[in-house]
Structure 1
Amino acid sequence: MRTGEREESVRTRVLRARLRHVYWIGGGSGAGKSTIARRVAALHGLRVYSTDEVMSDHAGRSTPEDAPWLSRFKAMSMDERWVNRSPETMLDTFHWYRGEGFGLIVEDLLRAPAGTGVVAEGFRLLPRLVKPLLAEPGHAVWLLPAPEFRRAVFDDRGWEIPRRTGDPERARHNLLERDRMFTDRLREETGRLGLPAVEVGTGMDEDELVERVARAFGF
């Protein structure tokens, strides 16, 4: 093993040990990650760390050098972001999907008190980035919403993004298609890496999903 690889291996082992109290819930948009994280945390005496809630803070702490895709995204108009580009391009160039800012998530978790378990949740928790940090294989699960479930959530929320564009219907279509492809990517990645995933459909109630996530965590 070369020196750089040895140092990286040592650093990863240290991070894994320091984050052993963290339980991770990732997944596609609209899968219910925040709700399930809050309920599981309340049932088992854990704190919740929402990666969505710190996105603005992380964007402000990022530089063009360490987050070039975020920098390009911030320079675009709403139509450039959501209307004028294909869903495939939106997927491939979205900064959070490329893992930018994940190091800031780890920094936040390391700064928090380690005495109490934490449920970290959000779509930014990509399987390939989380797996090296898992002290236990069962400390992470990804929620994969079916297309009809995601559409129902989208319509219920009345998302603000499409309304702020010049073509809300096109923006809505693009967002739903991008999120479908992101969920497919998560499904492939969790399967390839041997990580737990739960398919979320319209026939699954919230209590059942809470139970399945808690069971995946070994509670």
Structure 2
Amino acid sequence: MARRLAERYGWRLYATDDVMAEHARRTTPQQAPLLHEFLAMDMDERWVDRSPDVMAETFHWFHGEGFGLIVEDLLRLPREPCVVAEGFRLLPHLVKPLLAAPERQAVWLLPTPDFRQVAFRSRAVPGEGFVWQTSDPARAARNLAARDAMFTQRLREETARLRLRTVEVDTTMTEDDLVERVATVFRV
């Protein structure tokens, strides 16, 4: 959605996923202890051996580790054109204090369980993706899906508590519908 909006309106896109590896390199174990514990694990330790609950509770990006690096990156960008930042690392409680008008400067997309299942199935190409680097790709995928469902529920609760805008994403929406709903939030 962010990419489509950036193309449509001539905005600059900042995708937090694109800078995760660089941000990981820029941190120390003292600055990001959960991240460095994660990096020290092998693929089975990360995705197969731990429960989804433990995965959710200890996943570094879900705790805001490295968020300051996102802010540093954004502050280095020119003021024009407008920047649209996207990614799961943009946690509501960290973003809201930085916004002058949260009701029209931010929106969180919350996938329904059905949408999440369809998305996981569409990306589950045998041999592709990090789950295939584990000894049990099916279990790793189930653990990841359950962890992500917990994260979505946390986002739902946090955005409600902070009175931030959300858009529920379900399987009945087209990509064009979703782009229009998000554009409406930004009033463009």
Q: Distance in 1 between matches of 2:130 and 2:114?
A: 20
- Structure 1 residue runs of 5 or longer lacking an equivalent are 1-35
1:113 matched to 2:78? The reply is yes
Q: Distance in 2 between matches of 1:215 and 1:162?
A: 36
Cα drift, residue 81 of structure 1: 0.5
1:127 matched to 2:96? The reply is no
Q: Distance in 2 between matches of 1:115 and 1:123?
A: 24
- Structure 2 residue runs of 5 or longer lacking an equivalent are none
1:136 matched to 2:93? The reply is no
Q: Distance in 1 between matches of 2:153 and 2:80?
A: 36
CA RMSD of aligned residues (A): 0.9
Q: Distance in 1 between matches of 2:32 and 2:137?
A: 28
SS at 2:100 equivalent: coil
Map residues 41-120 of structure 1 onto 2, 5 A cutoff.
41-120=6-85
The one-letter code matched in structure 2 to 1:113 is P
SS at 2:135 equivalent: coil
Q: Distance in 2 between matches of 1:51 and 1:194?
A: 23
1:216 matched to 2:185? The reply is yes
When normalised by structure 2's length, the TM-score is 0.96
When normalised by structure 1's length, the TM-score is 0.82
SS at 2:141 equivalent: helix
Q: In the TM superposition, what whole-angstrom CA distance separates every residue of 1:11-48 from its partner, at most 9, and x where no partner exists? A: xxxxxxxxxxxxxxxxxxxxxxxxx1011112222110
Instruction: Give aligned pairs, total.
Output: 184
Q: Which residue of 1 aligns with 2:121?
A: 155
Q: Which residue of 2 aligns with 1:145?
A: 111
Q: Distance in 1 between matches of 2:17 and 2:9?
A: 22
Deviates more, 1:37-46 or 1:71-80: 37-46
Identity level (%):
62
